[in-house]
Structure 1
Amino acid sequence: MSENNKKLGPVVAILVPALLLGGVLSIPLFAASALACNPAAGPESSVTIDPASVPNIEVGGYGHEQLVNAAHIIKAGADKGLGVRDQTIGVMTAMGESSLVNIDYGDWETGGVTNPDGSPTTSIGLFQQQAGWGSVAERMDPYIASTKFFDAMVKKVPESERQTLAPTLVAHRTQVNSDPYHYEKYWDTAVQIVEALAGVDTGLAPGTGDQVCTGEGGVPGTVNKDGWAAPARGPISSDFGPRTPVMTPNGPSSSFHRGTDLAPGCHEPIWAAQSGTVVATGFGVGYGSNGTIIVDHGGGVTTVYLHMYADGILVKEGDKVTGGQQIGKVGSSGTSSACHLHFETHVNGEAVDPEPFMAAVGITLG
């Protein structure tokens, strides 16, 4: 259903900085094997298929005619230079609006639904677009309607936000559905359809749609539906707050612990807690002799990962990372007496206790 023909529901409350959504459903995150690992827009991560070449098959309960319409959506996204995540969001949205059927009627005809001003809704086509989206001929042309959807998506949801929002929230911001999570149940099948038609493994995860490259030997982590991940496995070996310093090969530890220590064992994977940009790595970048990775997640939120050895730092300054992407290996560099990950969460430049911070976004440490 297009905007104006659905009343907006209540706004979801955000509890910890603006980018945090407190989902608690944990899901596996699979690494991409056939596509570029960067899910951002660009032809290098696009897929495409000629709608005329779609085989007479069924995928996820969707038949040939519906798959042809999905192919038009995929092609329109590719022609706009969008990546496979965006293309799949388009397919998911049309599934939620029309079941991938190019229908010439909408809620006014079937249920007497009106716009807020009382006028009949005029929604038609794959995306149930109203008259403001274009002529009847344009809205009933699968390729043109898809192009209009992607144009609106890019305008309403900027790239930096689009790649961190759950797919259903991107669709909601574009279509203005009364239920922001209306499209969520279609995501997994949309991925299945895109992969079947394009003949590739997109690496798109259930729920979040994250597409991750972990590098050679990398191990993908586990993310919840809002893209948050535990930074490492293992028990908590030291909490946030005051503590008795211990002597290490590089001097005593601090008397106030600004993070949470996790002890999964030497060389175990370290994962980005959420999507963001790596702003510093290495040694002597604000944390003395400790091997360091700092990731800026936007909205005043940064995370810090310490004690990796040099060969355990798998990202560099400027890299874009996604939640659950392996960024390092647990080590014991700097003021450390045994292999562990020291993990910090910062809000507006201040270190806050990682355990309640992560709990608020649906992640339990340890």
Structure 2
Amino acid sequence: MPILIIGMMLGFVVVGGDDSCATAAVPGAPGVSVDPNSVPQTEIAGYGHEQLVNAANVIQAGKDLGLNVRDQTIGVMTAMGESSLRNIDYGDWETGGVTNPDGSRTTSIGLFQQQDGWGTREERLNPYISSTKFFQAMIQKVPDRESLEPTIVAHRTQINADPYHYERFWDGAVQIVEGLTGVKTGLNPGDSSPSGGTCDPTVPGGVNAQGWAAPSAGPVTSPFGIRTHPIYGTQRLHAGTDLGPGCDSPIWAAQDGTVTFRGFDGGGNGVIAIDHGGGVTTRYLHMYDSGMLVNVGDKVKAGQQIARVGSSGESTGCHLHFEVQVNGENVDPEPFMAAVGITLGQ
């Protein structure tokens, strides 16, 4: 009740929520820990004790480098895809006669099937050291990994022939990390979006006295108007305002309304459109399919979480592209929202 009173005094209503996600690790937060020597005789996601001990070494190596839980899970996923979490002392040459591009025999060994360039044979066969080397390479090669799918992060680190080879191991990796650490990571199995998903319930937004809400938090990263397109390099109208709250951050309905579109446009952009009546429509872009939380026909309320920030389609990183249309024409969202008491970018 005191929170509600304060909110009303400030001109907005704080919508109540559930704190059942409070104990989950937020993607991007400090990593989780596990002692490899404490792994019980058990099975998780079809992997036995020896494999889980190796996974624990991967997790702990990531923790010791200061990486977050998503990075750690990507490490486990990669080792699953390379060796089924077995510290094997042979690789592609021995099993399939695979050679390097220059025709030389591959020398892949260990959890990550690392060749000679990764270190000595002893280092590559040490689960903790080989994991550390993998993460160090990931940090160097993929600085933008928070805006990429986990399988693409692994691919850019390992240079695997198939960028999507690791995708099918994501579910099991999440289960193993959560099972070994006892921490609900917030990384949903079955969700390969860059941030790996988020825990439920959804996060409500604030609604002002005029019945409007900010569509997301974060700074304005690109305003409405003519600009050079970051991908195509041509001058064209940027028909909305970009907000940068970070991958997987909540996206809120700006006003009460009805969802009229939920899907992908011709550019591969995830799109949700909401009709608010009176000729006003708002559009929200760049979510992944797993990050779109409403469907066509749904009645939504201002401040209701409708999606999670992603980077699908014509996007160079996680952000929300927010549009306002009046009678079918795009208008600048910043002055429109200011007129209803909402300042974008706060």
Category of TM-score, reference length = shorter chain: 0.5 to 0.7
Shift of 1:200: 1.0
Match of 2:30 in 1: 45
5+ residue gaps, structure 1: 1-30, 220-225, 238-245, 295-315, 318-366
Correspondence for 1:174 among 157, 169, 181: 157
Match of 2:113 in 1: 128
Q: Map 1:149-228 onto structure 2 (within 5 A).
A: 149-158=134-143, 161-205=144-188, 206-208=191-193, 209-212=195-198, 218=204
RMSD value, Cα: 3.6
Deviates more, 1:65-74 or 1:198-207: 198-207
Cα pair 1:126 1:142 within 8 Å, conserved: yes
Classify 1:272/1:191 alpha carbon distance in 2 versus 1 (closer, same or farther; 3 Å). closer
Question: Any idea what SS the aligned residue of 1:286 has?
Answer: helix
Cα pair 2:309 2:319 within 8 Å, conserved: no
Question: Any idea what SS the aligned residue of 2:173 has?
Answer: helix
Match of 2:11 in 1: none
Classify 1:123/1:290 alpha carbon distance in 2 versus 1 (closer, same or farther; 3 Å). same
Q: Spell out, residue by residue over 1:136-169, the C-alpha distance to the aligned partner (whole angstroms, 9 max, x if none).
A: 01100000000000001011111xx211211111
Residues 1:289 and 2:289 aligned together? no
Deviates more, 1:227-236 or 1:83-92: 227-236
Shift of 1:62: 0.5
For 1:118 and 1:247, the matched residues in 2 are separated by 65
TM-score in terms of structure 1 length: 0.57
Cα pair 2:248 2:310 within 8 Å, conserved: yes
For 1:80 and 1:247, the matched residues in 2 are separated by 52
Shift of 1:201: 0.6
Residue identity matched to 2:113: Q
For 2:343 and 2:199, the matched residues in 1 are separated by 17
Q: Map 1:239-258 onto structure 2 (within 5 A).
A: none
For 1:121 and 1:290, the matched residues in 2 are separated by 63
Match of 1:35 in 2: 24
Match of 1:363 in 2: none
Classify 1:142/1:176 alpha carbon distance in 2 versus 1 (closer, same or farther; 3 Å). same
Identical aligned pairs, as a percentage?
53
Classify 1:259/1:48 alpha carbon distance in 2 versus 1 (closer, same or farther; 3 Å). closer
Correspondence for 1:274 among 283, 305, 310: 310
Question: Any idea what SS the aligned residue of 2:339 has?
Answer: coil
For 2:179 and 2:277, the matched residues in 1 are separated by 57
Cα pair 1:94 1:100 within 8 Å, conserved: yes
For 1:73 and 1:189, the matched residues in 2 are separated by 14
Cα pair 2:197 2:248 within 8 Å, conserved: no
Classify 1:56/1:77 alpha carbon distance in 2 versus 1 (closer, same or farther; 3 Å). same
Residue identity matched to 1:139: R
Q: Spell out, residue by residue over 1:194-239, the C-alpha distance to the aligned partner (whole angstroms, 9 max, x if none).
A: 00000011010222243537898649xxxxxx989997694329xx
For 2:92 and 2:38, the matched residues in 1 are separated by 32
Match of 2:130 in 1: 145
For 1:121 and 1:293, the matched residues in 2 are separated by 57
5+ residue gaps, structure 2: 1-19, 206-246, 262-275, 285-295, 312-317, 323-332
Residues 1:67 and 2:48 aligned together? no
Cα pair 1:32 1:212 within 8 Å, conserved: no
Match of 1:339 in 2: none
Cα pair 2:81 2:169 within 8 Å, conserved: yes
For 1:47 and 1:165, the matched residues in 2 are separated by 21
Cα pair 1:202 1:211 within 8 Å, conserved: no
TM-score in terms of structure 2 length: 0.60
Question: Any idea what SS the aligned residue of 1:59 has?
Answer: coil
Cα pair 1:278 1:293 within 8 Å, conserved: no
Shift of 1:274: 2.1
Shift of 1:191: 0.4
Shift of 1:247: 11
For 1:215 and 1:141, the matched residues in 2 are separated by 40
For 2:131 and 2:71, the matched residues in 1 are separated by 12
Question: Any idea what SS the aligned residue of 2:77 has?
Answer: helix
For 1:293 and 1:184, the matched residues in 2 are separated by 39
Classify 1:258/1:133 alpha carbon distance in 2 versus 1 (closer, same or farther; 3 Å). same
For 2:343 and 2:122, the matched residues in 1 are separated by 53
Shift of 1:271: 2.8
For 2:160 and 2:248, the matched residues in 1 are separated by 22
Classify 1:247/1:227 alpha carbon distance in 2 versus 1 (closer, same or farther; 3 Å). closer
